[in-house]
Amino acid sequence: MDKDAGSIERVFNSGAGAIVTKSIGLKPRNGFPNPTVIELEHGILNAIGLPNPGIDNFKEELLKLKKLNIPVIGSIFGSDYKEFVTLAEKMQNYGVNALELNLSCPHAKGYGLEIGCDPNLVKEITFKVKKSTKIPVFVKISPNLANITEVAKSAEEGNADGIVAINTVKAMKIDLELQMPVLSNKIGGYSGNAVKPIGIRCVYEISKNIDIPIIGVGGITTGKDAIEYFMAGASAVQVGSAIYYRGLDVFKKICDEIKIWMKHHEYNNLSDLIGAAHK
């Protein structure tokens, strides 16, 4: 979830297997004014508004990461398939190993969820990006959907190589004294511990209905959280908010905890856990 080569390198060196960039668009964007991120009782609420340097200014950072041999998944957002294709081709030229299409940001007008709720658009964007690139394409979908399975299926029909689930959950915090929403954008996306059961349910439902791999994300803080996602049907996981709670070495800690759990339960292969809860 970062956009700067130095901090990405630190995350990688602390044990992550690959890095997903902050979502990048065609033009530089400042994002929303503060307050944009607040810590709540059981998670983090944010509406930062997709701030990013724009794809052309991101080239240098990506080339640095390529030199360092760090596996990078380039996350992109656009308002239509043409923007997604332009971004995807540039990301590929700048050396990323895979693409993640952000079709699920809950708080940016004209982008993300506003497009990602339409199965036809999801299929069209995925198909066009797949046709114009050679690297794997993952489609990140939203939990804020009544038709989450239909949207995942559309991505699969558009030839996606995998589904990433979930992005943040639409939420709000009100300041009692000011009697108004805390975030400048009023509505934001909730992440961290509290959203894990929602992510687990989404991965479980999606994996019942599609054949491509799922990358699980949402509230993973410990090795056991990751194992729960594997059992729900995820083949890999991403970790975001837990960096805030457990520090940068959270990746190594989670890997160690997974190994300990597997040893204790006499599992030699992680693949034996994938989808184990589908009985």
Ligand X SMILES: Cc1cc2nc3c(=O)[nH]c(=O)nc-3n(C[C@H](O)[C@H](O)[C@H](O)COP(=O)(O)O)c2cc1C
Q: Which residues are catalytic?
A: 105
| 219 near ligand X, rule: CB under 6 A | yes
Ordered DSSP codes for 217-268 = -SS--SHHHHHHHHHHT-SEE---THHHHH-TTHHHHHHHHHHHHHHHTT--
* Terminal Cα-to-Cα distance of the chain (whole angstroms): 34
Give whichever of 168 and 222 is closer to ligand X, judged by the CB atom.
168
- The encoded tokens of residue 114 equal 């506003």
Count interface residues toward ligand X (CB under 6 A): 24
Q: How many CB atoms lie within 10 A of CB 212?
A: 17
CA distance 4 to 194: 28
| 167 near ligand X, rule: CB under 6 A | yes
Give whichever of 21 and 207 is closer to ligand X, judged by the CB atom.
21
Give whichever of 249 and 272 is closer to ligand X, judged by the CB atom.
249
Among 90-98, 129-137, 148-156, 233-241, which window interacts with ligand X (CB under 6 A)?
233-241
| 192 near ligand X, rule: CB under 6 A | yes
User: 3-32 mask for ligand X (x: CB under 6 A)?
Assistant: -------------------xx---------
Give the nearest distance from C-beta 179 to ligand X in angstroms.
Answer: 26
**Chain residue at closest Cβ approach to ligand X:** 240
Give the nearest distance from C-beta 158 to ligand X in angstroms.
Answer: 18
- Out of 78, 185, 241, 251, point to the residue binding ligand X (CB under 6 A): 241
- By CB under 6 A, the residues from 73 to 112 that bind ligand X are 75, 102, 105
CA distance 116 to 148: 10
Helix, strand and coil in the chain, % to nearest 5: 40, 15, 40
Give whichever of 42 and 263 is closer to ligand X, judged by the CB atom.
42
CA distance 97 to 91: 9
Tell me whether strands 188-191 and 169-171 are parallel, antiparallel or unpaired.
antiparallel
Residue 204 and residue 232 in contact, taking contact as beta carbons nearer than 8 Å: yes
- Out of 4, 35, 37, 170, point to the residue binding ligand X (CB under 6 A): 37
| Beta-strand runs (E) in the chain | 19-20, 37-39, 44-46, 72-76, 98-102, 137-141, 162-165, 169-171, 174-175, 180-181, 188-191, 214-216, 236-237
| 185 near ligand X, rule: CB under 6 A | no
Give the nearest distance from C-beta 25 to ligand X in angstroms.
Answer: 10
- By CB under 6 A, the residues from 245 to 274 that bind ligand X are none
Q: How buried is 177 (Cβ within 10 angstroms: 0-12 exposed, 13-18 middle, 19+ buried)?
A: exposed
| 142 near ligand X, rule: CB under 6 A | no
Among 124-132, 238-246, 250-258, 262-270, which window interacts with ligand X (CB under 6 A)?
238-246
| 218 near ligand X, rule: CB under 6 A | yes
- The encoded tokens of residue 241 equal 């908010």
- Phi/psi region, residue 15 (left: phi>0; alpha: psi -120 to 50; beta: rest), is left
Among 4-12, 234-242, 249-257, 264-272, which window interacts with ligand X (CB under 6 A)?
234-242
Binding site for ligand X (CB under 6 A): 1, 22-23, 37, 44, 46, 48, 75, 102, 105, 140, 167-168, 191-192, 195, 217-220, 239-242
